[in-house]
Structure 1
Amino acid sequence: MKQQRVLIYSGGALGAWALEDTQLGDIYVGADRGALFLVQNGIRPNIALGDFDSVNETELNLIRLNSEELLTCDPVLKDYSDTEMAFSWALDQKPQEIILYGGLGTRFDHSLANIHLLSQALPSQTTCTIVDSHNRIRLINQSTRLQRSNRFSHVSLLPFTSKVTGITLQGFQYPLHQATLTIGQSLGVSNRIIEPFAHIEIDQGQLLVIESID
């Protein structure tokens, strides 16, 4: 039975906010500099992995001494990003939920690639979320219920596949009924949840659900 959460800390934007929602029993994964963030905040990663090209020898040794397991790879010969390696490891654990912190930052290419990682979790229906200080992002391909959040006031829906059909929204300020969103449209941007719970129904396609503070 799926019970545990896996929290991945990558090398993007991180702060105290990334430690506010930790729970007893969480599994901690540090990807490259994300492992250093965990160690510096008194958290022992269950596993630290990556090429560690963003830390110096002293920092790497600190990670090595304070992690339960360390997996390193060659920065030139590897085929996957550090975050993808961590995400694949997390999926192999078959957890109930995966949360990625530090997956967004100033490198837009890395941010976009990390959002694409969410598609790997759809076959197993593992709940996966990317969280930063202003956004919470998930990818869905089936009906989903959202709880209204005091923190995330806006909800945007963007098609991840070329077309998403049969979109019906209930509990939103701007409802939809059997609508279709296609790549390039902004119809789903900046909605709001007005009920305690909102429902998103879709027939076909993959839909990005982006909750934002402002």
Structure 2
Amino acid sequence: MSFAIMRTLIVTGGDAAGLTGPEGNFDLVIAADAGFDHASALELKVDLIVGDFDSIRPSDSFSHIATEMHPRDKEHSDFELALEAALVRGTTELVVLGGGGGRLDHLLVNAAVLTNPQLRSMHITWETGRSTVHVVWDRATILGRAGDLVSLLAYGGDASGISTSGLRWALHSGRLSATSSRGLSNEMVDDHARVTVATGTLLVIHTSHA
């Protein structure tokens, strides 16, 4: 039995340093508030804008685009609301562009909401402009080159049953604590690496070797 794949791109606001247009085609492109300005700069065609519109520059350029407007006094960030919009529309593969710089509180919240268990039906990749983050609930393949840095961070609790290949320091059914730095700054020894986890959630952060 085959399942339909729906690829969605979410462009966030915040620091846009180092951002480049993503590879491949998308079925849906969502801008989280000021992410529309970044999407426009990258010449991306936006299908939906989500947020309270407190950061986006006033423009007639999005008058023809679908919007989900929320009050400024809301309980969730524009990015989290964009994630919900992607989820309810049946997204199976998600690429997030931006949101990796600027305010520290925004960065930490972005990482936290990406590990929401309700998103487990998605394959999630986060392109920050400096690094690529894979949200791993089961397995992931990292493409790069020897010498690239790969950090494995247990998020939201400890992770166990972790096995890796293609990394300098391998794990075999290992365990990582959410309060330990043990998984920091591993290195790729080939052009690809693989990570699997049996229990828990990993953020696998790939940073290209300069």
Give the TM-score category using the shorter length. 0.7 to 0.9
The answer for the alignment partner of 2:86 in structure 1 is: 90
CA contact (8 A) 1:152 1:211 kept: no
CA contact (8 A) 1:163 1:183 kept: yes
Which 10-residue stretch deviates more, 96-105 or 150-159?
Answer: 150-159
Asked if 1:60 is matched to 2:58, the reply is: yes
- From 66, 69, 72, give the equivalent of 1:72: 69
Structure 1 residues 11 and 111 mapped into 2: Cα distance closer, same or farther (>3 Å)? same
Q: CA deviation at 1:69?
A: 0.5
The amino acid of 1:36's aligned partner reads D
Structure 1 residues 152 and 213 mapped into 2: Cα distance closer, same or farther (>3 Å)? farther
Q: CA deviation at 1:152?
A: 8.6
Alpha-carbon distance between aligned partners in 1 of 2:117 and 2:168, rounded to the nearest angstrom: 29
The answer for the alignment partner of 1:49 in structure 2 is: 50
The answer for the alignment partner of 2:180 in structure 1 is: 185
Q: CA deviation at 1:2?
A: 2.9
Larger fraction in helix: 1
3-state SS, counterpart of residue 114 of structure 2: helix
Structure 1 residues 61 and 5 mapped into 2: Cα distance closer, same or farther (>3 Å)? same
The amino acid of 2:123's aligned partner reads T
Q: CA deviation at 1:128?
A: 0.9
TM-score scaled to structure 2, two decimals? Answer: 0.86
The answer for the alignment partner of 1:170 in structure 2 is: 165
CA contact (8 A) 2:19 2:97 kept: no
TM-score scaled to structure 1, two decimals? Answer: 0.85
The amino acid of 1:119's aligned partner reads T
**Unaligned ranges ≥5, structure 2:** none
CA contact (8 A) 1:121 1:127 kept: no
Alpha-carbon distance between aligned partners in 2 of 1:16 and 1:171, rounded to the nearest angstrom: 27
Structure 1 residues 189 and 4 mapped into 2: Cα distance closer, same or farther (>3 Å)? same
Alpha-carbon distance between aligned partners in 2 of 1:151 and 1:168, rounded to the nearest angstrom: 19
- From 84, 106, 112, give the equivalent of 1:110: 106
Which 10-residue stretch deviates more, 99-108 or 114-123?
Answer: 114-123
Structure 1 residues 114 and 167 mapped into 2: Cα distance closer, same or farther (>3 Å)? same
Q: CA deviation at 1:119?
A: 1.9
Asked if 1:205 is matched to 2:200, the reply is: yes
3-state SS, counterpart of residue 130 of structure 1: strand
Which 10-residue stretch deviates more, 146-155 or 95-104?
Answer: 146-155
Which 10-residue stretch deviates more, 81-90 or 155-164?
Answer: 155-164
CA contact (8 A) 1:36 1:63 kept: no
The answer for the alignment partner of 2:30 in structure 1 is: 29
